[in-house]
């Protein structure tokens, strides 16, 4: 009688009472404990060494995978070849080896493409390794790798190689794999293919010898890179020399850039014979378009064009990226050796940049101390001029004093971030426009000298520059208002004390306005726009001057708000036009009779006579004060 029961993966495994035999249908199987396999694995490693044991276990796993794939193809009524392929993962679980969990699965059986990645959960091989050995420096699930490759290769009809990328046996949280066909791997898997070939001991010794030679060459190049770059660093050489040394040691083009991907140095020795020319402009364009917008904190490889490879390593100082160093070559992709060489070079470049940064910070701090003396006005100006000359700086050139104050600076991290953004911007401008910004940072304030020559090069006014600084800082300071005060133009060293006071007085006006108006908005105030009110502000506090203005104008302002009239605005134009009734009427587009009524009503509400010179002078001061505080 013929059975109608469909053969599936779960019903072909059976226990038959013939002395305790176990069968896959008519194929006799042997069950063994993982501990026993662990002991066998240990003996192989101890006897052959881990690399030869690795090749043995890989080939053994490969043959097991091929054999089980062939066996299952005939035993089970598969609905599709994909189902047969996926059974390999289930066999891991049935055999107690691991739970295989594919995460990315892109397979086309007809086209012969295979791109799969996933996890091996609870790998018996990793557990057994750790029972006998400590953590290894590379993945160690050799049988699982071999089995996966053998099984899938048999199903697909093309050679598929599994590569373990993470492994519990080397300290990772889980075992992860990637599997592709040889064509899809390309040259990336070349070093692993030798492990799948059966060889005698002489061939293996020859392979080991070649590997030792290769490692010796790598060590030699690495040692040369470190030695030559360190020597250049100790001799005080610059980035140009670093690029030249690395390019000659690696025989590749080298590019060094700052954190904004601006050019610092580049070198490639084209003198040796058979050197292929390369498109330097294309590489720069690729970095600008494809790389500069990314956040790179680790060494990364890019493909500029097919078979054109770019390796970029960040130059990191105190967890911040301060630049990038790159190498380029055509053909073979970069391997671990080149990554190691480049990261060594990046570390030495970081030391160089740190030294330069420290020197610059020291110079900036010394200039700041001189600037503080200058603002106090207690030191002989000639002495200050000479001391600034030691730094190559002409303090007598025309400039503005710009002061930034960060309020509510309880959050030190927020304050540091906002200040850092501003200083980084100034540093970039110094490099690009070949200028110098002398600056003084103290507590929650930063005071900067802005040269007129720089503004002319940049083709911007001081108002535009101050507004840009304000917007830049505002983006990185969310805990409170920011005040920018800008002085009038300073043309002589003897004016700095006064200009410094102007910039700070402008900030006081903005803060006083916020207090009186119960507001917390940020603002930029220019001393140039304060007019003759600045003279009064030098003698009085802003709040006192505003109270003085309120005595004259508060009733009029209240009436306007209540009655929706323009008496305060009318008064301003009337005073500005020297109490000329007809001129004021024309300017405000009001009839003469209407203007007479308005002036009469203003005099009644303020209880004054606008024909008296003393009254108009006091009113003019009050109106100007209202304008300064944006109340008019």
DSSP string, 448-465: EEEEHHHHHHHT--HHHH
Question: From start to end of 262-307, where are the E strands?
Answer: 263-267, 300-305
Whether 335 and 307 have beta carbons less than 8 Å apart is answered as no
CA distances from 469 to 120, 325, 485, 511 (A): 54, 30, 11, 19
Q: Take residue 212 and report the two structure tokens written for it.
A: 């030792």
**Helix (H) / strand (E) containing 376:** helix 336-376
Q: Where in the chain is the domain with CATH 1.10.10.2840?
A: 543-628
Q: Give the homologous superfamily in CATH for domain 206-357.
A: GAF domain (3.30.450.40)
Coil vs helix vs strand at 409: coil
State the pLDDT at residue 167.
Answer: 95
Q: Which CATH architecture has domain 13-198?
A: 2-Layer Sandwich (3.30)
State the pLDDT at residue 415.
Answer: 67
Query: What is the spatial distance between Cα 340 and Cα 342, in angstroms, rounded to a whole number?
Result: 6
Q: Judging by DSSP bridges, how do beta strands 482-486 and 523-526 pair with one another?
A: parallel
Q: Judging by DSSP bridges, how do beta strands 175-181 and 160-166 pair with one another?
A: antiparallel
Q: Where in the chain is the domain with CATH 3.30.450.40?
A: 206-357
Q: Where in the chain is the domain with CATH 3.30.1380.20?
A: 13-198
Q: Take residue 211 and report the two structure tokens written for it.
A: 């590997």
Q: Judging by DSSP bridges, how do beta strands 300-305 and 308-317 pair with one another?
A: antiparallel
CA 405 to chain centre: 27
How many CB atoms are closer than 10 A to CB 419? 20
Rg of the chain (C-alpha set): 40
Phi, psi (5° rounding) for residue 89?
-65, -40
Whether 184 and 114 have beta carbons less than 8 Å apart is answered as yes
- The length of the chain, given as a count of residues: 632
Closest CA to 446 of 496, 408, 406, 474: 406
Prediction pTM value = 0.47
State the pLDDT at residue 280.
Answer: 76
SS3 per residue for 51-65: HHHHHHHHHHHHHHH
DSSP H helical segments within 518-610, as ranges?
Answer: 533-539, 542-563, 567-576, 581-588, 592-606
Coil vs helix vs strand at 33: coil
State the pLDDT at residue 1.
Answer: 38
State the pLDDT at residue 2.
Answer: 44
Whether 581 and 592 have beta carbons less than 8 Å apart is answered as yes
CA distances from 564 to 505, 561, 569, 570 (A): 34, 5, 12, 13
Query: What is the spatial distance between Cα 32 and Cα 42, in angstroms, rounded to a whole number?
Result: 16
State the pLDDT at residue 146.
Answer: 94
Whether 556 and 605 have beta carbons less than 8 Å apart is answered as yes
Q: Judging by DSSP bridges, how do beta strands 308-317 and 445-451 pair with one another?
A: unpaired
Q: Where in the chain is the domain with CATH 3.30.70.270?
A: 377-529
Kindly give, in sequence order, each residue whose CB lies less than 8 Å from that of residue 269, ignoring residues fewer than 6 positions away.
244, 247, 248, 251, 275
Class for the domain spanning 377-529? alpha beta
Whether 144 and 168 have beta carbons less than 8 Å apart is answered as no
SS3 helix, strand, coil % of the chain, rounded to 5?
55, 15, 25
Please give the DSSP secondary-structure letter assigned to residue 241: H
Whether 174 and 121 have beta carbons less than 8 Å apart is answered as yes
Among the four given CATH numbers 3.40.50.2300, 1.10.10.2840, 3.40.50.1370, 3.90.105.10, the one describing domain 543-628: 1.10.10.2840
Whether 520 and 481 have beta carbons less than 8 Å apart is answered as yes
Query: What is the spatial distance between Cα 172 and Cα 121, in angstroms, rounded to a whole number?
Result: 12
- Per-run averaged pLDDT (10 residues), the chain, 632 residues: 53 52 61 84 87 89 92 85 89 87 90 92 92 91 94 93 93 93 87 75 63 75 89 91 90 88 83 62 84 85 88 90 90 87 93 86 82 84 83 88 79 70 87 88 88 93 91 74 89 88 83 64 75 57 73 85 88 85 88 90 85 72 75 71
């Amino acid at each position: 009688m013929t059975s109608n029961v469909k053969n599936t993966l779960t019903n072909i495994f059976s226990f038959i009472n013939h002395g305790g035999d176990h069968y896959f249908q008519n194929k006799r199987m042997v069950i063994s404990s993982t501990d026993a396999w662990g002991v066998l694995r240990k003996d192989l490693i101890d006897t052959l060494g881990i690399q030869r044991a690795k090749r043995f276990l890989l080939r053994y796993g490969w043959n097991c995978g091929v054999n089980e794939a062939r066996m299952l193809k005939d035993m089970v009524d598969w609905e599709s070849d994909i189902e047969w392929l996926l059974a390999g993962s289930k066999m891991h679980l049935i055999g107690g080896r691991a739970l295989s969990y594919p995460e990315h699965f892109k397979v086309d059986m007809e086209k012969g493409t295979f791109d799969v990645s996933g996890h091996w959960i609870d790998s018996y091989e990793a557990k057994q390794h750790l029972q006998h050995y400590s953590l290894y420096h590379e993945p160690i699930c050799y049988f699982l790798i071999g089995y996966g490759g053998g099984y899938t290769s048999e199903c697909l009809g093309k050679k598929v190689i599994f590569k373990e990328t993470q492994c519990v046996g080397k300290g990772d949280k889980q075992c992860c794999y990637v599997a592709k066909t040889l064509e899809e791997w390309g040259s990336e898997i070349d070093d692993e293919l030798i492990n799948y070939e059966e060889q005698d001991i002489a061939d293996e010794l020859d392979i080991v010898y070649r590997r030792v030679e290769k490692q010796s060459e790598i060590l030699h190049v690495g040692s040369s890179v470190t030695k030559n770059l360190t020597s250049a660093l100790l001799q005080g050489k610059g980035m140009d020399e670093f690029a030249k040394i690395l390019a000659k040691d690696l025989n590749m083009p080298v590019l060094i850039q700052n954190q904004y991907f601006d050019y610092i140095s580049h070198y490639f020795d084209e003198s040796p014979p058979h050197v292929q020319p390369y498109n330097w402009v294309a590489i720069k364009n690729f970095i600008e378009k494809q790389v500069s917008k990314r956040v790179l904190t680790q060494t990364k490889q890019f493909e500029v064009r097919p078979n054109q490879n770019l390796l970029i390593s960040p130059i990191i100082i105190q967890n911040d990226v301060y630049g990038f160093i790159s190498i380029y070559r055509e053909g073979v992709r970069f391997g671990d050796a080149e990554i190691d060489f480049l990261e060594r070079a990046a570390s030495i470049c970081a030391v160089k940049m740190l030294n330069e940064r420290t020197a610059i910070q020291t110079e900036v701090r010394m200039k700041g101390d001189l600037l503080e003396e200058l603002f106090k006005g207690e030191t002989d100006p000639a002495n200050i001029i000479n001391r600034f000359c030691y730094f190559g700086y002409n303090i007598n050139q025309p400039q503005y004093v710009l002061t930034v104050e960060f309020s509510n600076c309880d959050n030190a991290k927020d304050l540091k971030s906002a200040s850092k953004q501003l200083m980084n911007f100034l540093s970039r401008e110094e490099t690009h426009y070949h200028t110098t910004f002398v600056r003084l940072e103290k507590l929650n304030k930063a005071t900067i000298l802005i040269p007129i020559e720089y503004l002319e090069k940049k083709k911007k006014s001081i108002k535009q520059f101050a507004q840009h600084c304000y917007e830049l800082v505002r983006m990185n300071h969310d805990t409170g208002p920011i005040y920018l005060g800008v002085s009038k133009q300073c043309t002589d060293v003897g004016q700095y004390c006064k200009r410094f006071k102007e910039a700070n007085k402008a900030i006081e006006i903005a803060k006083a306005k916020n207090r009186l108006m119960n507001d917390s908005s940020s603002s930029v105030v220019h001393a140039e726009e304060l007019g003759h009110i600045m003279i009064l502000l030098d003698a009085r506090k802003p709040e006192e001057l505003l109270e003085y203005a309120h005595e004259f104008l508060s009733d009029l302002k209240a009436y306007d708000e209540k009655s929706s009239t323009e008496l305060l605005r009318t008064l301003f134009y009337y005073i500005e036009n020297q109490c000329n009734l007809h001129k004021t009427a024309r300017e405000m587009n009001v009839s003469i009779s209407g203007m007479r009524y308005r002036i009469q009503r203003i005099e009644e509400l303020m209880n004054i006579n606008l024909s008296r010179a003393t009254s108009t002078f006091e009113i003019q001061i009050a109106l100007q004060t209202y304008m300064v505080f944006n109340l008019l």
